[in-house]
Structure 1
Amino acid sequence: MTAATAAAALSRASLALPTPPVRIVHLGLGAFHRAHQAWYTAHASDSDQWGIASFTGRAGEPGDSIVRALRDQDCLYTLALRGPEADEFEVIGSIVRAHPANDVDAFIDYLTDPQVGIVTATVTEAGYRLGADWRPNTDDPVVASDLASLSAGSLELESPLALIARGLAERRDAGAGPVAVMPCDNIPDNGDLVRTGLLEFAAAIDESLVSWIDENVSFVSTSVDRITPRFSEQDLASARDAGFGDAVPVVTEPFINWILCGGFPAGRPAWETAGAQFVEDLAPFESRKLWLLNGSHTGMANLGRARGLATVADASADPECRDLVEAFWSEVVRHLPAEVEAEQYCRDLWERFENPRIAHLLDQIAEDSLAKLRVRVAPVALAERQAGRSGSGSAGVIAAWAANVIALDGRRDALQAAIDAALEDSDPVVALVTLVATDLGADEAFVDEVRAQI
């Protein structure tokens, strides 16, 4: 990581940065991947041995523009750590290849290389296109098309798990050896979720592939944590003013955390030397992060937008948004073990949320709220109801979302068709709560709590 001294285009030659061999293949070439997994890989003690080939999460713009820009600057980019008072810049060199999502041939070429040992993904909850049972949602036309393509041996694939299934089939046939698959999305049990869905796609190719995957592929679960706002034009100017000629900089907060659980049969970077933590039981740590950080984000995004606010920092200064978060957190901490230090984590979160120089847009956070509520809020609400309590804090978060969609002011959602159908129901509140969790929708007292807070 070497600082540039002039606003010339980034290049490995001018910065004397090596090009590590591709040993990790990633789906989801977004800001979070570049601020988190790529950062850890660049900071690992053996970073010179682990290069990443990153693919966009979907074909077309804006991903294709990012691919072109990264290729023009040797896949280098600047990362700005944005504290409350100033930025600290560095150049990240762990990504060495960039591809659009539809470059299936390149993806297969990497997977059939024995040197490649890890496949990772950050495609969001909705991006996996799985149902509540973690199996492919066959009502999704993309999934239906991909399953047909896998059965026919076609490479016309769009969903990430279908692409990985085809890549693993080609890896098996090439005798390229075992590999680890590691999702880096904010989903509980994300390794098991991906395994369940992936095996269904693999079965569409042939049943023997399922057996091969069971014997040769590990699935690593992760908890990831770093607030990373969406790219803005001001970020370009900030990088340029600091002397970096970068078309695709990333801005993120100084805080970073990564907890992993699982094995890597073909090796891995020494991520622990960069601060990553490997544990035997990931569940309490991922629940802490998903519920306290991401759950409150979803609540602030929906209530804050309705109150005319733009960013997390704005919402943190708003008394109603703050009360919503505190009420939800008071329920969450009851369901977390002492070793995760939940109350201290909450105090740290307010400091992170209040950082006025991190423009984390509520519009961005509110996208695909339904899928997020299912994993970030519903478990807490169900635990509270099972304990005989009202769950009013959780109900407030769900109510903030329901109020937006009832007012037809919600963001378009990957599950918008289901939301639209619920809005046509004779009791849309019951229907919307049922979309979040069937048991909550059947809980009359909880639905009444949501209704009262809309």
Structure 2
Amino acid sequence: MTPPTTPPMTPPMTPPMTPPMTPPMTRAADGRPAAPVRMLHLGLGGFFRAHQAWYTEHAPDAARWGIAAFTGRSTDLVARLAAQDGVYTLVTRGGDGDAFEVISSVTAAHPGSDHGAWLAYWRRPELAVVTLTVTEAAYSTGDDVRADLLALRADPEAPVGTVAGRLTAGLAARRRAGGGPVAIVPCDNLPGNGEVTARLVEELADAAGLRTSASYVTTMVDRITPYPDGEDAGVVAAATGRADAAPVVAEPFAEWVLCGDFPAGRPRWEDAGARFVPDATPYEERKLWLLNGGHSLLAYAGAPRGHATVAEAVADPACRAWLEQWWAEAARHLDLPGPELAAYRAALLDRFANPRIRHTLAKIAEDGSRKLPVRVLPVLRAERRRGALPAGAVRMIAAWLRHLRGGGAPVRDAAAPSVAGPLREAARTVLACLDPALAHDAELIDAVTARAAELE
């Protein structure tokens, strides 16, 4: 997430062949003793293991805070982690070389389908924190939530599939067992993610007639963590002499900002660099607009120019100029000191330019209909209120339109609108998809149409 925008699950990966004498990783040989489980995580994948698990590993009280992590659907990663007792190698990939460290904070890993184990952890009195990395799309409602509602009404311990359903079932099971409130900590690129999660769970619990009690923490998370590739395990084996079937690669930069209460306690993440603030909104907006919005711009505008990664795109003078233009528009509406924003932008350029982090534009381009509303719309609306036509925001939307019409990376977006036909009508369609009110802004429609025509 960043999230890579990072994914909730790591896809199956076949490690490359390693020398026959390379011993496999184990907790006894490579890690530290397993800590008692006091945390749950949903969305076992690369970003979680490079971020929340990393912060927990670096907390001075890590020996008291083990994590039981559940996938969304995959079982492959669970099997690979279980074979090495939950430990794995984090490869911190800087521009000048790699650093390797063993992460031992994952005490147990389970497939998301193991609903019995999920509920059993919730019933434990010592459970204190539940974190999530499930991507923006998982917070939407629909037929799946309605199916969970019917299931929970019939049996509060029935298997459920949505994030809201899983949290509701867990909280209700905890209450029936006499457990106290825990902290729910969503870690996805969604404004006010704590408030959003609270609303979804409370609405579902009320409709199902279940009682729950929790604190909801709003967070901003940041660490670029590309999908693993077939070379990562070989790199680890060559450097460490150990066979790791589940390594994770991440950039050196990491940031975590949290706002909320932890009624049952938490690890001392602040000693590992996390920040606890009274209001996370300025940090959420800074990250969503500058980093994630910048990624989307490069994905949609850079891919048609032949670029495959963020590093390739930001090295293109045209793409870099477009990025700086977008950042200037967004920075006008961020409630943070100017010098802090300037330093953040400079750091972003260095991070984006790291050629050893292969962050693919095709992956970033996925699900734009869900990502762009929080990455570009707030700035676009603010600029339109001041009577401006923001060139950077217009270019991002026009480039997305061109992407949907077949320019650049393959389209992978279940909610994408159909944009066949005349270009101006297509511009109106994509704007309506982002915000129905924008379909009536003739000046904006004309600007997006003109920019898209230039791109085509």
* TM-score normalised by length of structure 1: 0.91
The equivalent position to 1:165 in structure 2, one of 165, 168, 171, is 168
The 5 Å alignment of 1:347-386 reads 347-386=346-385
RMSD: 1.7
- Separation in 2, partners of 1:371, 1:284: 21
After the TM superposition, which residues 71-86 of structure 1 pair with which residues of structure 2 at under 5 Å, given as runs?
Answer: 71-86=82-97
Note the residue ranges of structure 1 that are not aligned, 5 or more in a row. 1-5, 131-135
**How many angstroms does 1:310 deviate by?**
0.8
What pairs with 1:16-55 in structure 2 (closer than 5 Å)? 17-55=32-70
Aligned to 1:126: 137
1:94–1:68 Cα change, 3 Å: same
Name the CA shift for 1:200/1:313 in 2 (closer, same or farther; >3 Å): same
Q: 1:150 to 1:306 in 2, by over 3 A?
A: farther
Call closer, same or farther: CA 1:199–1:16 in 2, change over 3 Å: closer
One-letter amino acid matched to 1:26: H
Alignment match, 2:114: 103
**Alpha-carbon distance, 1:147 to partner:** 2.2
Q: Is 1:230–1:364's contact at 8 Å kept on the other side of the alignment?
A: no
Q: Are the aligned partners of 1:120 and 1:182 in contact in 2 as well (CA < 8 Å)?
A: yes
Give the aligned partner of residue 413 of structure 1.
413
Aligned to 1:237: 234
TM superposition shift of 1:156: 3.0
Please say if residues 10 and 76 of structure 1, whose CA atoms lie closer than 8 Å, have aligned partners that are also in contact: yes
1:102 counterpart letter in structure 2: S
Assess if the C-alpha contact under 8 Å between 2:290 and 2:327 holds in 1. yes
Cα pair 1:297 1:365 within 8 Å, conserved: yes
Partner of 2:6: none
The Cα of 1:449 is off from its aligned counterpart by 1.5
Alignment check: 8 A CA contact 2:30 2:102 kept: no
Residues 372-422 of structure 1: CA deviation (Å, up to 9, x unaligned): 101111111111111211122111111111111022764211424xx23x6
After superposition, what is the alpha-carbon deviation per residue over 1:196-231, rounded to whole angstroms, capped at 9, x for unaligned? 11112212320x52xxx3xx3110000001111111
Of the structure 1 ranges 399-408 and 186-195, higher mean CA displacement relative to structure 2 is found in 399-408
Contact 1:192 1:219 in 2 (8 A): yes
- The residue type paired with residue 425 of structure 2 is D
What residue is the counterpart of 1:294 in the other structure?
292
Deviation at residue 431 of structure 1 after TM alignment: 1.2
Q: 1:106-185 counterparts in 2 under 5 A?
A: 106-128=117-139, 130=140, 136=141, 138=142, 141-153=143-155, 155-185=158-188
Q: Contact between 1:67 and 1:99, CA under 8 Å: does it hold in 2?
A: yes
2:274 aligns to what? Answer: 276
Offset of 1:441 from its aligned partner? 2.7
Deviations 1:87-111 (A, max 9, x none): 0000000011111111111110001
Q: Does 1:190 align with 2:188?
A: no
For 1:50, the aligned partner's letter is W
CA distance, structure 2, for counterparts of residue 280 and residue 427 of structure 1: 44
1:290 deviation in Å?
Answer: 0.8
The worse-fitting range, judged by mean Cα deviation, of 152-161 and 175-184 is 152-161
Shift of 1:363: 1.2
1:219 to 216, 219, 222: 216
Instruction: Give percent identity, aligned residues only.
Output: 45
Q: In 1, are the aligned partners of 2:257 and 2:274 still within 8 Å (CA)?
A: yes
Match of 1:69 in 2: 80
Cα distance change, pair 7–444 in 1 and its aligned pair in 2 (3 A): farther
Amino acid in the other structure paired with 1:198: V
Counterpart for residue 313 of structure 1:
311
Q: How much has 1:45 moved relative to structure 2?
A: 0.6
Work out the CA distance in 2 between the residues paired with 1:377 and 1:410: 21
CA distance in 2 between partners of 1:108 and 1:432 (Å): 42
The offset of 1:118, in angstroms, is 0.9
1:231 alignment partner AA: P
Amino acid corresponding to residue 27 of structure 1 in structure 2: L
* Cα pair distance change 1:424/1:125, threshold 3 Å: farther
CA–CA distance in 1 between the matches of 2:365 and 2:206? Answer: 35
State the match for 1:256 in structure 2: 254
CA distance in 2, matches of 1:442, 1:269: 50
1:10 to 25, 45, 58: 25
Secondary structure of the 2:225 match is coil
- The 8 Å contact of residues 333 and 343 in structure 1, kept in 2 or not, is answered as no
Match of 2:14 in 1: none
